Amino acid sequence: MKNLKDRDKKQLKIRVKGIVQGVGFRPFVYRIAQENNITGYVLNDTEGVLIICEGKPSSLQEFLNSIKHNPPPLAKIQDIKITEHKPKGYKTFSIRKSKDKKTKDTFIPPDTMVCDECLSEFFNPHNRRYHYPFITCTHCGPRFSIINDIPYDRKNTEMKEFPMCKECMSEYLDPVNRRFHTEPNACPTCGPHLFLYDNKKNLLSEKTDEICDFVADYLKRGKIIAIKGVGGYHLSVDATNDNAVSLLRRRKNRPFKPFAIMMKDIKIVKEYFSINEEEERLLISKERPIVLIREKRRLVSSFVAPNIQHIGLMLPYTPFQHLLFSHPDIMALVMTSGNISGEPIISDDEEAFLELSNIADYFVTYNRKITVFPSIKSTESSEK
């Protein structure tokens, strides 16, 4: 490539491997192809992303530099292979239908916290996705927990049960929209919905705002809530309520092991905990890990982490969690895995009601399945 001149157009075949599906890689390639007057196509297949591109050598070099050095934020390129071929005279650049090959050798992207842009829309009463708990875009949302097979296309995910409405499809097909080729794209008209049940499986509400109000009230009254998260069920109680935390310990048969808690934002965390720069960096990172930090002012119940100076803390990462923490009475919540002690986290709805109805008083669930990609099932970690 270094010695190529601009006299003739060239064709490159670029094979990109790594976390390159479900992270906006094809839309990214499409956009930089337009910027550099590149023709050809890009597609997903079972080995990663395949790019066939034609253009002047200098344009191809710029195109390639962008792929290598400025990929989408969620992408992690493991390997790039480039071969030169005779041009075929492509007139445009397009995103082609994915190819399914026998060899399946690509990484599945992880689920990612809701991004700032989606969160802004989520809290905007004039936006059509106002308080829609399944808001997502190219840069955030479920990936690993909804995929059944590769390539990463909607038909290979649990979103296949939710055909896109006209407006969502328009976004999906618009190259300048951040939901361009976002496979989980949905809205209140066409996507999944929340449901609130009691532990006898009586339906109490199907309205998100009402569900959130009910749950906030239940939590302040010391009730235990099973909440279906991105990758499985959590059991949640008000972390400031001694009686609620003690009740959860008894029902879950977890007498001493510390619980993790969730708080609204880093500002609130700093009021009650002593954190250094590295701990803050981890807390606000897109992975949203649980970070062990030292309490400086008493807020949470001493039963959260008995006889331990540090508490495991995380920040909200789903739209519903952010909505719940918008209630002024919700300061800190225990968020522990929804399971019987010693058992794996529960992700199936029927199993959740069967196993957790003696622990939880209420259930927040939704009508999209959580799945685990079969060939990597053993690599899944329990959701917090």
Furthest-apart CA atoms within the chain: distance in Å: 78
Higher pLDDT, 2 or 244: 244
Instruction: Please tell me the distance from the alpha carbon of residue 23 to that of residue 78, in angstroms, as a whole number.
Output: 14
C-alpha dihedral over 373, 375, 377, 383, to 10 degrees?
A: -40
| % of the chain beyond a pLDDT of 90 | 82
3-state secondary structure of 321: helix
pLDDT value of residue 6:
46
- Exposure string for 227-262, b = 16+ CB within 10 A, e = fewer: bbbbbbbbbbbbbbbeebbebbbeebebeeebbbbb
* Per-domain boundaries in the chain: 10-95, 108-192, 194-379
Instruction: Please tell me the distance from the alpha carbon of residue 150 to that of residue 106, in angstroms, as a whole number.
Output: 8
pTM here is 0.85
Q: Give the H or E element holding residue 18.
A: strand 10-19
Inter-residue contact 14 to 67 (CB < 8 Å) = yes
pLDDT value of residue 377:
37
Cis omega (within 30 of 0) for bond into 71: no
Is domain 194-379 annotated with CATH 3.40.50.2300? Answer: no
* pLDDT tens figures, 144-198: 999 998 888 899 999 999 999 999 999 999 988 999 999 999 999 999 999 999 9
Domain 108-192 fold is DHBP synthase (3.90.870)
pLDDT value of residue 7:
58
Instruction: Please tell me the distance from the alpha carbon of residue 104 to that of residue 48, in angstroms, as a whole number.
Output: 9
- Please state the rounded mean pLDDT for residues 130-146: 95
Tell the burial category of 172 from Cβ atoms under 10 Å away from its Cβ (0-12, 13-18, 19+).
middle
Answer whether residue 378 shows pLDDT above 50.
no
Tell me whether domains 108-192 and 194-379 share a fold: yes
Mean pLDDT, rounded, of the chain: 92
Instruction: Please tell me the distance from the alpha carbon of residue 205 to that of residue 192, in angstroms, as a whole number.
Output: 15
Q: Among 1.10.340.30, 3.40.50.720, 3.40.50.300, 3.30.70.100, name the CATH number for the domain at 10-95.
A: 3.30.70.100
Q: Give the H or E element holding residue 85.
A: strand 76-85
* pLDDT tens figures, 341-370: 778 899 999 999 999 999 999 999 999 999
Helix intervals (H) in the chain: 25-35, 57-69, 116-122, 166-172, 208-220, 242-252, 266-272, 277-284, 319-325, 349-356
